[in-house]
Amino acid sequence: MPDRILSCSAALAEALNEEMTRDPSVFIIGEDIKAHAGIFGQFKGIPENFPDRIIDTPISESAIAGVGLGAALTGLRPVVDLHFSDFVTCCMDELVNQTAKIRFMLGGQVRVPLVVWCPDGAGLRAAAQHSQSLEAWFVHTPGLKVVIPSEPADVKGLIKAAIRDDDPVMFFQHKKLFAKEGPVPRGDYVIELGQAAVKRPGNDATLIGYGSGFYLCREAALQLSEMEIDAEVIDLRTLKPLDMTTVAESIKKTRRAVIVHEACRTGGFGAELAARIQEELFDYLAAPVKRVAARDVPMPFSPPLEDYVLPKVADVIAAVREVRTRK
């Protein structure tokens, strides 16, 4: 059967419906998720199909994350919806001190099959407390896996893998991408965590992105091709574990790399990836690795301000041209 065209929202809802049918221990818990099937419609069909397994809570993030962890420790597979990724700060102890560490701290006695689902990202004029991309915090925390899909098929395949995984997974989906459409395989489509995808082959430079950064890379590659620059585009999809093999194969071919993410530059995931590339692939590089990222300020509200702070396709093109000038 051919793939259908679905939005990222619909792909997520389809995957969750399938996983909840397959495994009665899966449930979803969070704020305001039942009345409208999630504030972005991301849980469509679930309130009707599984009324007892989609749970509305008071605005109590510590308790919500605690329910996720405690339930994961005692036989269930929770999907915790944090409403906006920015609110991880309200349950940072439960995520970082408890969830990430409990298996290790207790000598491997337990498994923690927990998914923390976080809508993140800017561009909706939502200002500084509803627009962040905080993935680097969790990449920096041993004991968590970090997944960030971009296209609808990735959303479906990765959420299924995350739910079936016996370790805690931070799953970030960009708010502005919920309506993005693309082909999605029918049935039990699972993408193993830790596998990047080469989404456009090319020889002249490697563009590495994830989430909204992937779309900047893809658009930049399209425009670069008109300038006769043939860029390869890698969508990382999982930041931890990181698929360094796919990154290395590409850079050995192109000898040039540009990393693109929407999170602010300093201490962002690009810094880690750039460090890994220079440590492991220095001899292959023809130019320094460039990063394209948001500027280092909280996200401002007014459209011209927000647009100025966010990375753009033109920034990616400029970075590629810069790494290309080095021989």
Q: Is 135 helix (H, G, I), strand (E, B) or coil?
A: helix
Distances in Å between the Cα of 82 and the Cα atoms of 51, 100, 177 are 19, 16, 17
Catalytic residue list contains 140: no
Is 49 a residue that touches another protein (CB under 8 A)?
no
Cβ–Cβ under 8 Å, residues 172 and 120: yes
Distances in Å between the Cα of 325 and the Cα atoms of 133, 249, 275, 320 are 31, 22, 21, 9
Toward another protein, which CB reaches closer, 97 or 278? Answer: 97
With contacts defined by CB under 8 A, name the span among 2-10, 70-78, 220-228, 253-261 that binds another protein.
70-78
Is 111 a residue that touches another protein (CB under 8 A)?
yes
Binding mask 182-221 vs another protein (x if CB under 8 A, - otherwise)? ----------------------------------------
Interface size with another protein, residues (CB under 8 A): 41
Is 109 a residue that touches another protein (CB under 8 A)?
yes
Out of 130, 140, 174, 261, the active site residue is 130
Toward another protein, which CB reaches closer, 53 or 156? Answer: 53
Is 78 a residue that touches another protein (CB under 8 A)?
yes
Distances in Å between the Cα of 10 and the Cα atoms of 5, 38, 70, 251 are 10, 12, 29, 34
For 263, the enclosing helix (H) or strand (E) is strand 257-264
With contacts defined by CB under 8 A, name the span among 36-44, 103-111, 259-267, 268-276 that binds another protein.
103-111
Cβ–Cβ under 8 Å, residues 273 and 243: no
**CA torsion, points 196, 182, 217, 299, in degrees to nearest 10?**
-100
Is 280 a residue that touches another protein (CB under 8 A)?
no
End-to-end CA separation in angstroms for the chain: 48
Cβ–Cβ under 8 Å, residues 261 and 133: yes
Selected from 9, 85, 98, 133, the binder of another protein by CB under 8 A is 98
Selected from 21, 60, 266, 278, the binder of another protein by CB under 8 A is 60
* Total residue count of the chain as it appears in this document: 327
Is 304 a residue that touches another protein (CB under 8 A)?
no
Residues near another protein, by CB under 8 A: 27, 57-58, 60-63, 65-76, 78, 91, 93-94, 97-98, 102-111, 142-143, 145, 165-167
- Residues forming the active site: 130
